[in-house]
Amino acid sequence: MNFTSHNILLNNGTQTLGNSQELLSHSGLWTSIEKTIDLFFPKSIEARAKMRVADLGCLEGGYTVEFARLGFQSLGIEARKENLSKCNYVKSNLSLPNLNFVQDDVRNLPDYGKFDIVLCYGLLYHLNDPVNFINIMSNCTNKLLLLNTHFSPEQDIRYNLGLLNNYLIAPLQKRTGLFEHQKNFRLTSMLKNEGYRGRWYKEWNKKEKTEKVEKLLWASYNNNRSFWLCKKDLTNALHNAGFHSVFEQFNYTGGQIPENYSHFLNRSMFVAVKHT
């Protein structure tokens, strides 16, 4: 089975990406998540056994597994059949009765009830209605949302150049890295969507066959373009959705994630909390 991202230690001692890759459980990203969880939740297995976690767009299930290992009732939701088969393979090779996966569109999250923790890692920037989805997540979150996402830069002259950037500057920078202090994602100029500022990103061609889209394991599932909110608009949307406090976490780099990751990719980890 060909894993592309999550290196998970199985019961028999093997790892899904092999021994040369860092385990997901040892990564800077996961350890930062675990530290945040310890701030807001009791550490006892008995207490955590009564709490629920949703991992949205869980890919190969690595983060869902780690939540289950911490004692939470953990549900991974994944739209693509190929990814879900990897999740179920992992489940079958672990002894974690509190670990479960379902194949579904994450927009159907309300069908699965409420969760104490929601993890949205690498998903929001693949949606064409991110503000609507933030509201969906808020309605299903009792306490904590962990959101790792790209955001749209406020100022980047390249994205005002349209076709010149898409077909000349971006390909040149991809090949050479010339003057590319921030990655060129070929975004649009600044626009508004759902009442918030951001830029559009093309995921795949609108006329693409369903079979090919199904094979794009790291792309959006049912919308061919996505909307990247500006950072301030993103935090405003989180507040407006009902989260009382929104923080930015900075200690998720390290290991395989380089120190310039946040700046180069216009990406960060946001922690949104509901006070009880």
Tokens of residue 220, six digits: 């959006």
Tokens of 195: 């009442």
Is 108 part of any domain? Answer: yes
Percent of the chain with pLDDT strictly greater than 90? 87
Give residue-wise pLDDT tens across range 174-202. Answer: 999 999 999 999 999 999 999 999 999 99
CB-based contact 230:147 (threshold 8 Å): no
- Over residues 202-211, the pLDDT tens digits come to 998 887 777 7
Q: Contact 139/112 with Cβ under 8 angstroms?
A: no
CATH of the domain at 29: 3.40.50.150
**What are 16's two structure tokens?**
């899904």
On whether residue 196 sits in a domain, the answer given is: no
86: in domain: yes
Distance in angstroms (rounded) separating the CA atoms of residues 270 and 83: 25
| Interaxial angle between packed helices 130-140 and 231-240, expressed in degrees from 0 to 180 and rounded to the nearest 10 | 40
Distance between CA atoms of residues 176 and 211, nearest Å:
33
Q: In this model, does residue 218 exceed pLDDT 70? A: no
Residue 274: other Cβ atoms inside 10 A:
15
CA atoms within 13 A on the CB side of 264: 11
User: Rounded mean pLDDT of 83-90?
Assistant: 96
- Count up the domains in the chain and report the number: 1
On whether residue 177 sits in a domain, the answer given is no
Write phi, then psi, for 114 (nearest 5 degrees): -105, 155
Is 106:93 a contact under the CB 8 Å cutoff?
Answer: no
The 10 Å Cβ neighbour count of residue 92 is 9
Answer whether residue 164 is part of any domain.
no
| C-alpha–C-alpha distance, residues 184 and 160, integer Å | 12
pLDDT at 162 over 90: yes
81 lies in some domain: yes
> Do residues 101 and 84 lie in contact, with contact meaning Cβ atoms separated by under 8 Å?
yes
> What domain range is 235 assigned to?
24-148+226-273
Residue 69 lies in a domain: yes
Q: Does residue 90 contact residue 65 with C-beta atoms inside 8 Å? A: yes
Asked if residue 155 belongs to a domain, the reply is no
Single pTM value for the model: 0.94
The whole-angstrom separation of Cα 227 and Cα 129 is 7
